[in-house]
């Protein structure tokens, strides 16, 4: 995307009614064509600018004007940067996307929305996520191992205390955390038999439940 031949235009669309603070800032290489696309989108699009236009007097109640013209540029990000500074300065109400904003800075601004998006993605494409984690860990194995070694050295006492803590297993036995979580306990025949038996008992309890008590709580 580079052409210094066509000047870039930064424009604003504003409501003629000064009491209503409705505005939008955009950039284009063809001002006339861009304004006519706005006119076409006015009736069909559900974007905020067009919704506001429809609810506040329609096209006749809005006017567009040029904020500045950038005659020479080598990369689109240059005039998008000018557009961004106008947006920061005039604070238009209908701009949703900030130009030249990187994905990472958006993630920093909206950590909660990013977390929800990640959770949904994980549920939708579990196989893809699994493959991605596998590729990442293969690529970063050496670094990860080094980091883990340093972490272990620094937190040795805490880690040992956690690993040696006694916890109960679903089979009914009580043993060290490390033994139940990472050891061979889960592959042990006694554990499997007792775990299945306990699950069957819980299910049976759930079936004959005259007082309607949730046994899993």
Residues forming the site for Zn ion (CB under 5 A): 169, 171, 191
CB of 191 to Zn ion, least distance (A): 4
Q: Which two tokens stand for residue 104?
A: 């990472």
Judged by beta carbon, residue 124 or residue 189, the one nearer Zn ion is: 189
CB of 171 to Zn ion, least distance (A): 3
Judged by beta carbon, residue 100 or residue 198, the one nearer Zn ion is: 198
Contact 170, 198 (CB under 8 A): yes
CB of 167 to Zn ion, least distance (A): 10
Contact 23, 94 (CB under 8 A): yes
Complete DSSP assignment for the chain: ---SSSPEEEEEEEES-TTS--EEEEEES-HHHHHHHHHHHHHH--SHHHHHHHHTT-GGGEEEEEEEEE---SSHHHHHHHHHHHHHHH--SS--SPTT--HHHHHHH-HHHHHHHHHHHHHH-HHHHHHHHHHHHHHTHHHHHHHHHHHHHHTHHHHHHHHH-EEE-TTS-EEEHHHHHTSSGGG-HHHHHHHHHHHHHHHHHHHS-TT---TT-
CB of 202 to Zn ion, least distance (A): 15
Judged by beta carbon, residue 118 or residue 192, the one nearer Zn ion is: 192
Judged by beta carbon, residue 80 or residue 181, the one nearer Zn ion is: 181
CB of 198 to Zn ion, least distance (A): 9
Judged by beta carbon, residue 88 or residue 184, the one nearer Zn ion is: 184
CB of 164 to Zn ion, least distance (A): 17
Judged by beta carbon, residue 48 or residue 186, the one nearer Zn ion is: 186
């Amino acid at each position: 995307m580079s052409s210094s031949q066509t000047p870039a235009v930064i424009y604003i669309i504003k409501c003629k009614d000064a009491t209503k603070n409705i505005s939008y800032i955009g950039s284009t290489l063809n001002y006339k064509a861009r304004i006519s696309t706005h006119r076409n989108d006015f009736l069909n699009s559900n974007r905020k600018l067009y919704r506001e236009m429809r609810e506040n007097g329609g096209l006749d109640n809005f006017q567009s004007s040029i904020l500045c013209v950038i005659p020479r540029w080598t990369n689109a990000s240059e005039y998008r940067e000018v557009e961004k500074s106008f947006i920061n300065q005039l604070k238009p109400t209908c701009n949703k996307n900030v130009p030249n904003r990187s994905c990472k800075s958006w993630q920093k601004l909206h950590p909660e929305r990013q977390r929800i998006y990640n959770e949904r993605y994980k549920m939708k494409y579990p196989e893809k996520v699994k493959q991605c984690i596998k590729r990442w860990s293969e690529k970063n194995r050496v670094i990860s191992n080094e980091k883990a070694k340093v972490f272990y050295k620094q937190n040795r006492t805490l880690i040992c205390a956690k690993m040696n803590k006694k916890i109960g297993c679903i089979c009914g036995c009580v043993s060290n955390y490390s033994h139940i979580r990472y050891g061979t306990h889960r592959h042990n025949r006694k554990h499997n038999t007792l775990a299945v038996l306990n699950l069957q008992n819980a299910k049976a309890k759930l079936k004959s439940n005259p007082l309607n008590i949730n046994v899993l709580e």
